[in-house]
Structure 1
Amino acid sequence: MSESKLQVTLREHFLFSALPEGEREVLHQRCRVVELKNDETLFHQGDLAASFYVVLKGSINLFRVSPDGQTKVIEVIKTGGAFAEALMFMDQVRYPLNAIAMGVCEIMVIPNKLYKDILLAAPESALKVMGSMAVKLHRRITEIETLTLQNTRHRLGNYMFGLAPDASELQCTLQLPMAKQLIASQLGMQPETFSRLMKEMKTQGLIDVKGADVVVHDLQGLREFGH
C-alpha cells in the first residue's frame, strides 16, 4: 500500500523528520487534511491561532488588508511549505494574516498544543526544528532587506530571475506563479508600476510575454535590470 501525502510529509518535512517514529505516528493519527476550493478562506486575520499548516497540494495566499482597504500579499506558500508555525512559540494567539486558496488545495492541519507537547518530550528533535526555523527566519530578513533597500526595477528583475529554471542559461521560458497584481503586491509596488516595468523589459529586448509565460531573451540582463 502506497504512502499517503500526509505520511510522506511527516517523514520528509523538516518540521517532522527529526521526530521519533512513534511521535510521527501520533501526528499521523491526530492531524487532519482539509480540502479547499479556489478562493476559499482557510482563516481570517484575527482568528484564534490554534493550529499551523503544511500545504500538501496547491498554493495558499497569505495577505493583510490595511484599514483603508488595501490588500498586501505577504507570501504565497506552495506545495511543501509550512505557515503559521512560529505563532505557537510566541504570545501571539491570533493569526496576523488572512489565508486563502489559490486554486484547489489540500492542507495538513497540525494542532499547536499537540506539536509543542511532542517537542517538549523530545528536546534533541526540538533543537533541530529550531535550527531549521532559524534558517527560514534568515530568509525572511533577506526578503525584507530586498523590499526596503532595492528600488522597484531591481526588485522585479531579481524576482523574475529567481523564477528561471536554470540560472546559468542565457535564455529560457518561465511561468509567472500567480496573477500579476498579486506579484506586484508581494513586491511592494502598484499594479501599474509592475505593468510599466514589464513593458520596459520588453522594449529593451529582455523578454516577451505570452499570457502567464515569459520568454526571456537575456537572463543575465534581466537580473541586472534596475541596477
Structure 2
Amino acid sequence: MTKVNSAADSPDRVLGHPLFRDAPPEVARLLLRDAAVLHVEDGDVLFREGEDAIEYLYVLSGGIEVLRHTQDGQERVFHIFRSGQLLAETAMFMTHGRYPMNARARGDAITLCLKRSGLQAACRAWPDLSMRLLARLSDRVYQRVNEVEWFSDSTAAQRLADYLLRLRPGQDASVRLPLTQRQLAAHLGVRAETLSRLLADWVAQGRITGARRDWTLHDLAFLDDLAQPVRRSF
C-alpha cells in the first residue's frame, strides 16, 4: 500500500462528483487540502471497523469493498465501490468518530484519500454541500429501511431472484456474481447450504445454468414473478 502526492487529474475528477460539482474555488481548496493518492493491491485493508475515521475515499480505479464479520466469522460484504464513487464520507460526521465497517481492495485499486477536516470545513463554508450531504444521507436511510423490510418479509428464493435480476447488464441474460457464494449467502441473510440448494434446484429445473460466479438466467419470467412481491415502486 503506497501513498503519493495527488495525481494530476484526480482533483478534477473528484470535483466532478455530484456532491462537489460547481464548488467555489475556496471550497475546492478545502476539499482537496492534504489529499493523497493511495495505491493498493488485492486484499489490502484501507481501514478497519473501529479505527478513527479521519479520511474518506474517492475511487480512481479498481474496486473497494466494505464489509463486516458476522458473529460466526463469516464476511458480509455490504457494497463494492467502483471508479468515480465516494466511500466513507458519511463516517466523517458520526459522533463516535470511528469507521463503522472495514474497507478492503478488490483487485488492485487506486483511491484519492480526502480529509475529514476539509470536508467539515467545506460544509461550513458552502451550505449547498451540506444540503447535498443531507439528501444523500436521507436516501441511504430510506434504502436501509427498505432493506430491513426486504429481509423480514421475503423468502430466501425471493431475495435470490431479486439479486440475480438486479445484476443483469441491460437485457443480457448472463450475470457474474461479485461475491463468493458464501459471501452472497451472508449478504442475503441465508445459510450457505440454503443458497446452494436453491441454485441447484433452479439448475435442475432449467431456470438457470452456470457454476461458481458465472450464471445464465434462462427463465426470466419465473425469477421476475418471484421477485415482484418484494419490490417497492419507489
Q: Which moves more between the two structures, 42-51 or 203-212?
A: 203-212
The code of the aligned residue for 1:206 comes to R
CA contact 1:31–1:108 (8 Å) conserved in 2:
yes
Q: Distance in 1 between matches of 2:95 and 2:29?
A: 28
Residue aligning to 1:80: 84
Residue aligning to 2:150: 146
CA contact 2:32–2:114 (8 Å) conserved in 1:
no
Q: Distance in 2 between matches of 1:96 and 1:129?
A: 18
CA contact 2:63–2:107 (8 Å) conserved in 1:
yes
Q: Compared with structure 1, are the counterparts of its residues 38 and 191 closer, same or farther at alpha carbon in structure 2 (3 Å cutoff)?
A: same
Provide the aligned C-alpha RMSD in A.
2.4
Residue aligning to 2:131: 127
Residue aligning to 1:46: 50
SS in 2 for 1:7: helix
Residue aligning to 2:4: none
Q: Distance in 2 between matches of 1:143 and 1:221?
A: 22
Cα shift at 1:25: 4.3
Q: Compared with structure 1, are the counterparts of its residues 141 and 54 closer, same or farther at alpha carbon in structure 2 (3 Å cutoff)?
A: farther
Cα shift at 1:202: 1.3
CA contact 2:122–2:129 (8 Å) conserved in 1:
no
SS in 2 for 1:33: strand
Cα shift at 1:50: 0.8
Residue aligning to 2:20: 16
Q: Distance in 2 between matches of 1:64 and 1:134?
A: 22
SS in 2 for 1:225: helix
Cα shift at 1:217: 1.1
Cα shift at 1:120: 0.3
Q: Distance in 1 between matches of 2:39 and 2:66?
A: 17
* Alignment deviations for residues 28-58 of structure 1 (CA, whole Å, 9 cap, x no partner): 4532221110111111111111111222222
SS in 1 for 2:226: coil
Q: Compared with structure 1, are the counterparts of its residues 137 and 53 closer, same or farther at alpha carbon in structure 2 (3 Å cutoff)?
A: farther
Gaps of 5+ in 2: 1-7, 230-234
Calculate the TM-score normalised by the size of structure 1. 0.86
Residue aligning to 1:162: 166
State the identity %.
28
Residue aligning to 2:60: 56
Q: Which aligned runs of 4 or more in structure 1 are off by greater than 4 angstroms?
A: none
Residue aligning to 1:207: 208
Cα shift at 1:207: 1.0
CA contact 2:63–2:82 (8 Å) conserved in 1:
yes
Q: Do structure 1's residue 104 and structure 2's residue 105 form an aligned pair? A: no
* Alignment deviations for residues 169-226 of structure 1 (CA, whole Å, 9 cap, x no partner): 4x61122223222222211222222221111221222111155321111223223337
Q: How many residues align?
A: 222
CA contact 1:34–1:107 (8 Å) conserved in 2:
yes
Cα shift at 1:91: 0.6
Q: Do structure 1's residue 93 and structure 2's residue 97 form an aligned pair? A: yes
